[in-house]
Structure 1
């Protein structure tokens, strides 16, 4: 009888072993994606979040995750609406309680609405190239990360580019700041005003109401003002409308320089010939010549797991930017695992530490195939930006062509502005800033 049950006992032992292995299955790093793919800015979100998810899939397929930790996510549609953004955050935050990847909303307005909530819930809010500039000061904003560079540093870098193109002197020049009348568009005003005072040029501010498909009055004013340059802070349909309007009134497109949210294929292709010669800032290049972009197409789409229905977006500016955001997020996970244990998913507090201790070098970017998708990034308690550099690119009618190397904004001018703002914010909110000299 005993011999008869030996196979059964052996099978039971194998089953128990399998159950035991299942109990210790690979951990998961959860990304709450508070995103948008529909509405007036939906095409932009489709490209950005498509690239973001494709890279997470790529890491899962290529590396079996980060030291075995699988990337997981859930999307919640906001339509770029602040109230819906808050609703999505509340819906997903419980799932991020034990394992939290950085939250990327790609919306300054939604970021403003979440900045206090995310700090209270200890969930890191990543604002790559958007959000509150003064959140660079991590002593006041421990869970907010305006990574890579900010609107104010970008505005300063654009002015520096224009200045260099004019023999190093802007005195007596006139620059129009044409901007989306929202938190996004208003964020750079203080920097533009500071640059105008320093460089002795006249600044004319012209807002455009959301969504920006009516700009007749604004361009009539621009024609009357006869500026030397237009610095352009647009978004979505506003961008192609502006380029067509500039052509209509005869303003040269090579005298227009936009922010990085006005410099994608979604902005220029619909404008046709009106876009040729137009320039915009960026922190990432377009194209499939970037090794990681080519490999994503091969590995992820080759496996039938690509996120995009329109694969023509692969390699576009915003797709590559979404990949850049995911690269930075995954590198933060690697950094966090160095401290908290390889093969372990990070919670919100641990992810905050990782984002605050990034050191992504050019050599590391090359290693992961992401050269020119990001500048070097080195963060700290008192610097949640990590870079402050941009490139300027120009649309030649068919593709974006870089026309500058990395340009850094005027830190000595801009940093005191956001530091003063952060100090005032702390006073208003009753926040006692952290002592960054004690942070490691």
Structure 2
């Protein structure tokens, strides 16, 4: 096997003292852009977090050392360990929202859906954009109600739609979904329950049977759930688990004789950390991939030359270079850098504050030519945000585990965002009524 997750666990334990909230503060100056990083290098999700932060930090370091910063503005970052706990992420946010040694904050990576929920009101009050790529609160796609929350790239409703569109492509078209039985096995949390609304809508439209089966955190025993799945004999299974519950789910499904080729993991159930612990049972498993695995993209060649081969990488074990969570970090960092670049085009080549960061993200536009220029062609989809659209992407590739590596088996599969939008607006309107928010007129925004 080319990669051993036990090494990540060991690295997490060895690095504990260096990864708590007691990390010495980074040096920063008022003419630098501060990026706070709420990380989880220790705890149950460290195997995901360690390569994630390495990808983000490697890209930020590349921008500083190879490109001289963003139009000359250097980036400075500081980690704050959360163990993926929302209360700790809130502490980290409060610690850093005012900036660092005069360097301002333009946005805050929540790096977790529960944290996005926990920080929603604070980010709005402080006018600091909360960025959660491939996660977050789905209705915050509607920027007229949520000006400071961005579920960029692929929100949970779109994930459900992409999954259904892929299944339809395998069945011969959307009209062939009628009468099919689709089971969602989901992590019983705000994250896991996010797709219940869109799956109900899609089932009503296309006529498939929608069955939802919860798995309680941490999901280390799932025999009852997969026994039920076996009895139901579904045509397809959508696996929306997280952390240790994913390999447990895959292995338990195999034990009950369920074909892994009929299981599709969502975005957060499709990394090496999800399949390697499942062993041979995972071969043939598929997952949605707005963050595809692989190190053959142009940006990886640049990073290898300038960061890894020069000993400057945050990645202690280079076997994890180009793996899914490393690429999650790269893509998050690239989106942030391009947003800051868009903001500088309006406000000048200087660090941005939170209000300017909001404008920057709402004017982010990464087209095919820009993807090629920054080396992300094929790794990141084109993305364009606006006041009314804080998602901006809405597509994913489907990748399959061959027992050694992830291989893309589709091009970008689009979500039916037009169909989903009324459901998003219904939920955002309910939130606005609850909080007494008067939605912005996005037609007047510029």
**Is 2:227 the counterpart of 1:202?**
no
Q: How far apart are residue 98 of structure 1 and its match?
A: 5.4
Asked whether the 8 Å contact 2:106–2:354 carries over to 1, the reply is yes
Q: Bigger CA drift: 35-44 or 132-141?
A: 35-44
Q: How far apart are residue 101 of structure 1 and its match?
A: 3.9
Q: How far apart are residue 134 of structure 1 and its match?
A: 0.5
* SS of equivalent to 2:98: helix
Look at both structures and tell me which one has the larger radius of gyration over its CA atoms: 1
In structure 2, C-alpha distance between the alignment counterparts of 1:233 and 1:285, rounded to whole Å: 17
Q: How far apart are residue 285 of structure 1 and its match?
A: 2.2
Alignment equivalent of 2:385, drawn from 354, 379, 387: 379
**Is 2:313 the counterpart of 1:306?**
yes
Q: How far apart are residue 338 of structure 1 and its match?
A: 0.5
**How many residues were matched structurally?**
415
In structure 1, C-alpha distance between the alignment counterparts of 2:135 and 2:116, rounded to whole Å: 8
* SS of equivalent to 1:95: coil
Q: How far apart are residue 26 of structure 1 and its match?
A: 8.2
Asked whether the 8 Å contact 1:390–1:406 carries over to 2, the reply is yes
In structure 2, C-alpha distance between the alignment counterparts of 1:251 and 1:106, rounded to whole Å: 33
Per-residue Cα deviation, 1:266-311 (whole angstroms, up to 9, x for no partner): 1111111111111100113222211112221221123322112222
Q: Which residue of 2 aligns with 1:69?
A: 73
Alignment equivalent of 1:191, drawn from 198, 201, 205: 198
In structure 2, C-alpha distance between the alignment counterparts of 1:244 and 1:271, rounded to whole Å: 6
Q: Which residue of 2 aligns with 1:93?
A: 97
* SS of equivalent to 2:312: coil
**Is 2:328 the counterpart of 1:321?**
yes
Q: Which residue of 2 aligns with 1:438?
A: 444
In structure 1, C-alpha distance between the alignment counterparts of 2:443 and 2:369, rounded to whole Å: 28
After TM superposition, which residue ranges in structure 1, 4 or more long, deviate above 4 angstroms?
Answer: none
Asked whether the 8 Å contact 2:184–2:240 carries over to 1, the reply is yes
Per-residue Cα deviation, 1:139-177 (whole angstroms, up to 9, x for no partner): 100010111110111111110110121112111111111
Per-residue Cα deviation, 1:83-124 (whole angstroms, up to 9, x for no partner): 111111111112268522432222100110001101111111
Per-residue Cα deviation, 1:322-347 (whole angstroms, up to 9, x for no partner): 101000100011111100112x0111
Q: Bigger CA drift: 87-96 or 401-410?
A: 87-96
Structure 1: tracts of 5 or more residues without a match: 1-24
In structure 2, C-alpha distance between the alignment counterparts of 1:125 and 1:148, rounded to whole Å: 14
* CA-based RMSD: 1.3
Structure 2: tracts of 5 or more residues without a match: 1-28
**Is 2:112 the counterpart of 1:102?**
no
Q: How far apart are residue 413 of structure 1 and its match?
A: 2.0
In structure 1, C-alpha distance between the alignment counterparts of 2:160 and 2:125, rounded to whole Å: 31
Q: Which residue of 1 aligns with 2:83?
A: 79
Provide TM-score, normalisation by structure 2: 0.91
Asked whether the 8 Å contact 1:98–1:348 carries over to 2, the reply is no
